[in-house]
């Protein structure tokens, strides 16, 4: 079986990250985490990469992005509140809202071919009726869309009209290809007086998800005040090695990231070439960010869950489209953060099973 579903990369770690981890082990430095320095390092990274000025005290270090989303929902919304999400979207978004005892309000993205856009009317209806928060996936997993400044401004204006909190999951922000630019939502929201929370992490960009460290950034003074009252265990349950690796990635990992983005850029195009040649029935919009390709397989007639056919017949494991919501029926997600040889092999296996 060729596994191409979990969002991890097949690449070697950034030397700065592995050296920092080796050094910690050499020192037998495996006690509890001590994150204050990471807040400063994050601030510098945010300024360098996104021209975003973040006061270090607004940065809360948490165990992972989804943990940060849960704590935000608990701290800033009420049980039973509606939380809007825009499927097709990262499957745990559905689950996490329910775990926090809020309810999911689905506002599907609009699809035009393989281009996706926000359903503005649907979102306004959701905000007007029952959604008290929006869980934004920016850049968007699985469709690979990087919301442009104009879209973010319109979103912020809508959120302000209805007093909606925006929780912006920006875990894929380091993985934006040349041609697109990542604008943190808070940069347009805070000037408009909107409450927002940004979740970032080095876990996708530098492939260290298992080390457990993410950043939750208060996007207004009101949110900041609320976060200061979070129970200590929220910020205590982080991995020490995660803090060390994250600090190394943000401070010294930029050249590795550039090289990695070049590899991924070639891979996203290679996949387009291979699909055009061997499986032209599949729809593929080359993503502007992430190493995830969202594939429309409906013309192959493999049913709602083409990934199952590829697993059963081709021994290639992609993500199940319906897990991303009803809009994912007939679709599958392909992780191309691997070698060109494996991508080729996977497409050949898919072609044989179609
Ligand atoms: C959009 C998005 N958010 C969150 C996560 C998971 O992040 P964490 O492991 O930090 O909870 C992923 C993982 O792929 C993701 O794609």
What CATH number is associated with residue 349? 3.90.1150.10
Judge if 142 and 228 occupy the same domain: yes
Judge if 235 and 281 occupy the same domain: no
Q: Is the CB of 71 under 6 A from ligand 1?
A: no
Per residue of the chain (354 residues), give pLDDT as tens. Answer: 999 999 999 999 999 999 999 999 999 999 999 999 999 999 999 999 999 999 999 999 999 999 999 999 999 999 999 999 999 999 999 999 999 999 999 999 999 999 999 999 999 999 999 899 999 999 999 999 999 999 999 999 999 999 999 999 999 999 999 999 999 999 999 999 999 999 999 999 999 999 999 999 999 999 999 999 999 888 878 999 999 999 999 999 999 999 999 999 999 999 999 999 999 999 999 999 999 999 999 999 999 999 999 999 999 999 999 999 999 999 999 999 999 999 999 999 999 998
Contact yes or no for 16/256 (Cβ under 8 A): yes
Judge if 25 and 51 occupy the same domain: yes
Record the tokens describing residue 47, joined without a space.
């300024």
Q: Which of 72, 88, 135, 171 to mutate to test the pocket of ligand 1 (most atoms within 8 A of CB)?
A: 171
> Which ligand 1 atom sits closest to the C-alpha of 63?
10
Rounded (5°) CA angle 232-233-238 = 115
Q: Which of 8, 63, 66 to mutate to test the pocket of ligand 1 (most atoms within 8 A of CB)?
A: 66
**Residue closest to 334 by CA, chosen among 299, 288, 287:** 287
Q: Which of 4, 61, 65, 246 to mutate to test the pocket of ligand 1 (most atoms within 8 A of CB)?
A: 65
Rounded (5°) CA angle 52-218-199 = 75
Range of the domain at 296: 2-11+255-353
pTM passes above 0.85: yes
Judge if 131 and 237 occupy the same domain: yes
Residue where a domain terminates, one of 196, 228, 252:
252
Q: 354 CA to middle of ligand 1, Å?
A: 30
Q: Name which residue sits closest to atom 13 of ligand 1, judged by CA.
A: 7
Contact yes or no for 131/164 (Cβ under 8 A): yes
Judge if 335 and 199 occupy the same domain: no
Q: Is the CB of 208 under 6 A from ligand 1?
A: no
Judge if 201 and 308 occupy the same domain: no
| CA 262 and chain centroid, separation | 19
């Amino acid at each position: 079986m060729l596994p191409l579903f979990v969002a991890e990369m097949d690449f070697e770690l950034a030397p700065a990250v592995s050296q920092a981890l080796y050094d910690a082990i050499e020192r037998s430095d495996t006690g509890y985490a001590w994150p204050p320095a990471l807040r400063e390092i994050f601030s510098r990274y945010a300024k360098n990469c996104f021209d975003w000025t973040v006061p270090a005290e607004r940065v809360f270090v948490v165990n992972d992005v989804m943990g940060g989303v849960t704590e935000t929902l608990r701290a800033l919304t009420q049980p039973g509140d509606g939380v809007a999400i825009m499927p097709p979207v990262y499957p745990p978004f559905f689950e996490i809202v329910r775990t926090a005892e809020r309810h999911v309000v689905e506002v599907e993205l609009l699809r035009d071919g393989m281009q996706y856009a926000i359903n503005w009317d649907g979102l306004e209806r959701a905000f007007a009726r029952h959604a008290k928060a929006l869980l934004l996936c920016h850049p968007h997993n699985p469709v690979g869309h990087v919301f442009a400044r104009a879209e973010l401004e319109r979103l912020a204006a809508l959120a302000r009209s209805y007093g909606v909190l925006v929780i912006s999951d920006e875990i894929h922000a380091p993985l934006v290809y040349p041609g697109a630019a990542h604008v943190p939502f808070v940069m347009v929201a805070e000037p408009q007086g909107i409450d927002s929370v940004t979740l970032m992490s080095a876990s996708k960009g530098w492939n260290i998800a298992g080390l457990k460290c993410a950043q939750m950034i208060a996007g207004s003074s009101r949110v900041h005040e609320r976060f200061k009252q979070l129970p200590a265990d929220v910020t205590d349950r982080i991995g020490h090695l995660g803090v060390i690796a994250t600090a190394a990635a943000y401070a010294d990992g930029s050249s590795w990231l550039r090289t990695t983005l070049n590899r991924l850029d070639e891979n996203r195009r290679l996949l387009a070439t291979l699909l055009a040649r061997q499986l032209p029935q599949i729809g593929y919009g080359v993503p502007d960010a992430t190493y995830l390709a969202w594939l429309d397989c409906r013309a192959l007639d493999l049913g709602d869950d083409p990934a199952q056919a590829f697993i059963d017949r081709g021994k290639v494991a992609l993500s199940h489209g319906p897990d991303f919501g009803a809009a994912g029926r007939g679709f599958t997600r392909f992780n191309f953060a691997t070698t060109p040889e494996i991508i080729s092999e996977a497409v050949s296996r898919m072609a044989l099973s179609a």
